[in-house]
Amino acid sequence: MQKVSAVKQGLFVIQRIKSIKSEIIINRIPMKGLLLMSIIFIRSLILYFLVIFAVRLMGKRQLGELQPSELVITILVSNIATLPIENPDIPVIMGATPILSLVCFEVIMSWLSLKFPKLRKLVSGSPKIIIREGKVDAQVMKDLRFSVDDLLTSLRGKDIFDISEVQYAVVETTGNMSVMKKQPDDTPTRKDIGLNLHPEDPPQLVVSDGKILETSLKSLGFDTQWVKNMLSEGNAKLSDVMIMAADRTGKCYIAGKDGRKPYIREGNVSDKG
Amino acid sequence: MTRVKISFVILAVLLGMSIFTGVLINRKCTDFISRTENIWELYDSGDHDSACEKARAFEKAWERFRKYSSMLINNEKLTEIDRISARVIYLAEGDSEELHSELMELRHMIESLEKGETPVIESIF
């Protein structure tokens, strides 16, 4: 009986030595390092696409001004995404779950804020008028913990160096300041000067990197033949065009890939077919 | 509105998955705990061969569980149990006195794993 158990022990020990030996062989060559690098590479790709998806799900708003909750989510998402990349022991789902949960909560909270103004006020706060009818509100400055230096810095950021020019200044929920100047100090508009101009539509991109954008072209009321006519006027080939923008009047701008001076043609409504 | 709908769907999927995986891990851990008790009972009753067989069966079952649980649970938690389960077989086959303490530790590790994956106040905070 003792002999049998001794044989069994011996066989077990031999088996263990073999497995340890193969581990040593694997560790000696850089195979383990390469395998780990490939795991990290694949995880980075997965989380990259996940973060892109999350940012797209939150919507275009996030690419511009951020509300406090949106800023928090953005920072959290970026930090959480690094955890499974840095540590291969953490499953990818441990990164994906909080990212998706936070983003979905944020989207739902934004939607609820639209429906319930009180909730919006609770989550995002409300804009504060810091200068009203040319007078600085000290109480609002105190509430916002805005110093005089902060106020003047924000105004300079709006190209206002003389505080007496300001009629209203509002600190938005994003922390930015919106300013309305007093009329005598404000830039005159065409209407003020009395210019009678027709409303203009913005030009649209009709050719991008050698490809005609049919949808834009149709919305302007032009066709592919018109594009070809314009290109021949500007001595350009379609494949050499980087940007071609046009408006309804037929005014067009053609910039080539070769870096030469762009061709600009003034508008003529009779160009339309 | 599309984004809101997608968000609700994603949250529902995440919730469903977390409930499902929680229940699955809970059941598996309960099964592994009962296996360790079984090994203990067999060893104490003198049936060492059956105890060794159960220990090997435990390790195989653990390996199968580990394959998919490593996608859900932190690897460090699972590695410790790997080490102890391998040692249990060796101790059972060697009629070692340390087997009881190892089985107790193994049971404790699995119970910790089970509690850690269950959404109770202690594990959440």
Gap between the Cα atoms of A40 and A84, Å rounded: 9
Nearest to A263 by CA among A253, A250, A272: A253
> Cβ A5–B94 below 8 Å, yes or no?
yes
Closest by Cβ to A91, choosing from B1, B6, B73: B73
Residue % of chain A over a pLDDT of 70? 82
CB of A53 within 8 Å of any CB in chain B?
no
pLDDT at site A55: 86
User: Using a CB-CB distance cutoff of 8 angstroms, which residues of chain A are in contact with residue B75?
Assistant: 88-91
pLDDT at site A242: 92
Gap between the Cα atoms of B16 and B14, Å rounded: 5
Tokens describing residue A159: 């190209």
User: Using a CB-CB distance cutoff of 8 angstroms, which residues of chain A are in contact with residue B7?
Assistant: 57, 103-105, 107-108
Query: Partners of A56 in the beta sheet?
Result: none
CB of B67 within 8 Å of any CB in chain A?
no
Exposed/middle/buried for A1, CB within 10 Å: 0-12, 13-18, 19+? Answer: exposed
**Contact predicate A178/A172, CB 8 Å:** yes
pLDDT digits (tens, 9 = 90+) for A145-186: 989 999 999 999 999 999 999 999 999 888 888 999 988 888
- For the four alpha carbons of A106, A107, A111 and A112, in that order, the dihedral sign comes to negative
Gap between the Cα atoms of A17 and A8, Å rounded: 14
ipTM over 0.85: no
Chain B nearest CA to A268, separation (Å): 42
Residue-wise DSSP of B3-41: HHHHHHHHHHHHHHHHHHHHHHHHHHHHHHHHHHHHHHH
Compute the average pLDDT of residues A101-123: 89
How distant is the alpha carbon of residue B100 from its chain centre?
Answer: 18
Compute the average pLDDT of residues B41-52: 86
pLDDT at site B30: 92
Q: Which helix (H) or strand (E) holds A106?
A: helix A93-115
pLDDT at site A17: 57
pLDDT digits (tens, 9 = 90+) for A225-272: 999 999 998 888 899 999 999 988 888 899 988 888 888 888 765 555
pLDDT digits (tens, 9 = 90+) for A202-212: 889 999 999 99
Residue B9: which pLDDT band, with cuts at 50, 70 and 90? very high
CB of A42 within 8 Å of any CB in chain B?
no
> Cβ A93–B75 below 8 Å, yes or no?
no
Residue A273: which pLDDT band, with cuts at 50, 70 and 90? very low
> Cβ A8–B93 below 8 Å, yes or no?
yes
Exposed/middle/buried for A84, CB within 10 Å: 0-12, 13-18, 19+? Answer: buried
pLDDT digits (tens, 9 = 90+) for B58-106: 988 998 998 888 888 888 888 888 888 888 888 888 877 788 888 898 9
* Biggest CA pair distance of chain A: 114
